[in-house]
A and B are shown apart, each in its own frame.
Chain A
Amino acid sequence: MPARSIVAIVGPNGSGKSTLLRLIGGLLTPDAGEIRIDGRPVEGADARIGFCFQEPRLLPWRDVLDNVAFPLELAGVPRPERVARARESIALVGLGGFERARPHQLSGGMRQRAAVARALVRGPSVLLLDEPFSALDALTRERLDLELQRLWQETGTTIVLVTHDIAEATFVADKVVVLSPRPGHVVAEVPVDVPRPRDISMSTAAAFSEVAEAVRAHLAATDDADAPPRAVA
């Protein structure tokens, strides 16, 4: 995966999307092969990686600021510095003013924004997103997809997004990787050649539709048991 790009991974259930993401994030150790970032291998959880889960996983007993600052706290960053960095991160995801709110006082979308802020607070070079918006309503999801693009532009982070939503994948990503189920294989890598910044009005554009069609075709092929397996690239 090229640096500073957004890669979306799509695939049916059981194709190992989440597993792949956890391998990249160092939460799982690969049986064979190696994960590298900028040439340096990932061994175990890695500070260069920010991980965003399907659920926000905020600590309910902490406010937004302390949740976002949590990774810095664990790393032993002194309080004044971690507060400053957490505030930056919170502002970046558009949650400014909600620093003192508790998770239960926030909407689902705001909670996921806080989770993204937390993933970004250590300034990671790779941001891993595991279907982060799948539990949200369509409108919120669309808005957050746009935000993701803005974040990417402002931070220059490589983003790997796992999703089962083809429209989301094509709208957000520079490249869509299609996985097949049991055992998981990369079926195809479909580039999305749509210039940025993209906006919602473009989501119905022909370019997106073509990519989406291609992805859909590849996914359909994974259902075919005779489809020749391809080794992971």
Chain B
Amino acid sequence: MKRLQAVLPIAAAAVLFVVVWKLIVVVGNYPVFILPAPEVVASRFVRAWADGIMTPHTITTLSEVLIGFGVGAALALVVGYLLARSRLAERLLSPYLVAAQATPILALAPLIALWFGTGLTGKVLICALIVFFPVAVSTMVGIRSVDRGLLELGRSLRATRWQIMAKLEISAALPQILGGMRVGVTLAVIGAIVGEWAGADSGLGVLINLARGSLFDIPLMFATLLTIALIGVSLYLVVVLIERRLVGAR
């Protein structure tokens, strides 16, 4: 019953979304190539998965996102920790970090494709870049806001520098770090798509271009968008689940 109560508003919102979408199509009398109706997209989505168009592109994009996120988040953890614990590191690195963040990835993507080719490397790099900032900043903030009392406790228990970092600081900063990762993982999906737009053989970004620019199959384009959205939501939920397990019971 309680579960039902939790799920009900989510289901209601989803239904409302689809109904409003359908209404817009009907009232506006939009042709399929401007705005396909939800059922058209749904059936194209099912067909695209059934006939195997979607699968290879999804695998490509998903691996770019996961590897890019892994690399970016891992580096961000290290740098975020350094920034929190070393004023020098902060003064040296933060201008570059902010500048990198302020540079639109859209402008950078073609250059990265030029330098690193249109394969996996360039995409991983773009995903890692885009993930880096939110995770590094949230790690820095999280580590800085660790209760000094806990650090003193660690020292009173003769914890090594490494133990203090692994067992106290990282654990204590985990809510913030995971918050940054939640943002980062959805950005990584965008990064992969942008990277694929700059040049790629395969991936959901390629499929969007293919559906829109070559096939003029707008329902397929929407079905691809739906797949991308589902990937984003799933990855977000995975981080939230991890967060619940590690942090939720505090």
Q: Report yes or no: A44 in contact with B168, Cβ–Cβ below 8 A.
A: no
Give the distance in Å from the alpha carbon of A60 to the alpha carbon of B150 in the complex. 10
Partner of A74, one of B149, B159, B171: B159
Main secondary structure of the interface of A (DSSP, over half): loop
Are A70 and B171 in contact, with the CB atoms below 8 A? no
Contact B147 A47 (CB under 8 A): no
Q: Does B152 contact A (CB under 8 A)?
A: yes
Cα of A71 to Cα of B150 in the assembled complex, Å: 13
B window 142-178: CB within 8 A of A: 147, 149-150, 152-160, 163, 167-168, 171-172, 174
**Residues of A with C-beta under 8 A to B153:** 51, 53, 57
A106 adjacent to chain B (CB < 8 Å): no
The number of chain A residues touching the other chain, given as a range, is 20 to 34
Which chain A positions have C-beta within 8 A of B160? 74
For B250, what are the chain A residues with a Cβ–Cβ distance below 8 Å?
Answer: 60-61, 102, 104
> Contacts A74-B163, A102-B249, A104-B250: A57 and B147 contacting too (C-beta < 8 A)?
yes
A194 within 8 Å of B by Cβ? no
Asked if A25 CB lies within 8 Å of chain B CBs, one says yes
CB distance from B58 to the nearest CB of A (A): 35
Question: Cβ of B114 < 8 Å from any Cβ of A?
Answer: no
Query: B247 within 8 Å of A by Cβ?
Result: yes
**Cα–Cα, bound, A102→B248 (Å):** 11
A59 touches B149 (CB 8 A): no
- Give residues 33-86 of B contacting A (CB, 8 Å): none
Is the CB of B246 closer than 8 A to any CB of chain A?
A: yes
Q: Which of B150, B152, B168, B171 contacts A27 (CB 8 A)?
A: B152
* Nearest opposing residue in chain A for B152, CB measure: A27
Tell me whether B150 and A57 are in contact (CB under 8 A).
Answer: yes
Cβ contact within 8 Å between B158 and A57: no
Contact between chains at A70 and B157 (CB < 8 Å) = yes
CA distance A126 to B241 in the complex (A): 43
Partner of B150, one of A59, A73, A102, A104: A59
Kindly provide the distance from the CB of A18 to the nearest chain B CB, expressed in whole angstroms. Answer: 11
State whether B157 touches A74 (Cβ < 8 A): yes
14 contacts between A and B (CB under 8 A): A25-B156, A26-B156, A53-B149, A57-B153, A59-B168, A59-B171, A61-B172, A61-B250, A70-B157, A71-B157, A74-B158, A74-B167, A75-B157, A104-B250
Residues of B within 8 A of A (CB): 147, 149-150, 152-160, 163, 167-168, 171-172, 174, 246-247, 249-250
Apart from the given pairs A71-B157, A74-B154, 11 other A-B contacts in the complex at a CB distance below 8 Å: A45-B156, A51-B156, A53-B149, A55-B149, A59-B150, A61-B174, A61-B249, A61-B250, A74-B159, A74-B167, A104-B250
